[in-house]
């Protein structure tokens, strides 16, 4: 599938919540544009994710966390009306995998929740991290916190769980609207990125291991 088609699909798609944008004139905006241009040029996705020469790794990770947040919002937006308390009473990926929610604030202990509630809380929590300028600094004058990469690992691990739920429980909907190739491309991009920088553990990736082996051959 042409990567520019993938970009167009996600630019016009229905989103679960508003897209986060980068401020023009910033390094991160430039990196975002550079990453988008690479995707549209049809470069191999394994190459697209590599850190550009001379660029800061934290900036590169920050750009991708925001981009993946936006795209996974869009993907979930395409199935959200079919994901409810009745159809999805737990946040799961088949019978073997169930995810509990904890945020150290309203949910201090891991709590069983219906999938739509889990995903709503996950997106709210991720958005709060991205909007916190002490965590995701807007200016290059402000350093990233030492905990930045570990926080991004947590964000990306949780976003991966949305892929798990959508692929295992709602893939028929993705196919019915003709979005299968687009979602697969987004997943491959995400997978190659987290593999390149070791941002999601192999154990977390297990629920989609068989599918990943099938679609991530290039």
Alpha helices, DSSP H, located in the chain: 3-12, 27-41, 45-48, 57-79, 115-131, 148-169, 171-176, 180-196, 202-205, 209-215
Distance separating alpha carbons of residues 215 and 37, to the nearest angstrom:
23
152 is in an annotated binding site: no
170 is in an annotated binding site: yes
88 is in an annotated binding site: yes
Distance separating alpha carbons of residues 74 and 107, to the nearest angstrom:
26
The candidate with the shortest Cα–Cα distance to 211, out of 155, 157, 166, 173, is: 166
| DSSP 8-class letter at 200 | S
200 CB neighbour count, 10 Å cutoff? 20
* Contact predicate 9/182, CB 8 Å: yes
Query: Which residue carries 């429980």 as its tokens?
Result: 169
Distance separating alpha carbons of residues 159 and 156, to the nearest angstrom:
5
Structure tokens at 8: 């167009």
Rg (alpha carbons) of the chain, rounded to whole number: 17
Annotated binding site: 83, 88, 165, 170
Which residue ranges make up the annotated binding site for Zn(2+)? Answer: 83, 88, 165, 170
């Amino acid at each position: 599938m042409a990567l520019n088609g993938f970009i167009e699909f996600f630019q016009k798609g229905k989103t679960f919540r508003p897209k986060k944008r980068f401020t023009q004139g910033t390094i991160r905006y430039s990196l975002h544009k550079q990453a988008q241009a690479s995707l549209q040029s049809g470069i191999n996705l394994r190459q697209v994710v590599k850190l550009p020469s001379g660029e800061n790794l934290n900036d590169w990770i920050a750009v991708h966390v925001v981009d993946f947040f936006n795209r996974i919002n869009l993907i979930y937006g395409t199935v959200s009306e079919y994901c409810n308390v009745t159809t999805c009473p737990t946040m799961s990926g088949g019978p073997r995998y169930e995810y509990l929610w904890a945020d150290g604030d309203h949910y201090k202990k891991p709590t069983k929740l219906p999938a739509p509630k889990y995903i709503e809380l996950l997106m709210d929590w991720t958005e709060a991290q991205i909007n916190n300028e002490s965590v995701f600094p807007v200016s290059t004058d402000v350093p990233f916190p030492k905990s930045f990469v570990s926080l991004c690992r947590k964000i990306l691990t949780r976003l991966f769980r949305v892929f798990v739920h959508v692929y295992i429980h709602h893939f028929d909907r993705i196919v019915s609207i003709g979005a299968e190739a687009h979602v697969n491309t987004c997943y491959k991009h995400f997978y190659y990125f987290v593999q390149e920088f070791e941002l999601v553990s192999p154990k977390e990736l297990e629920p989609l291991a068989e599918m990943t082996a099938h679609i991530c051959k290039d």
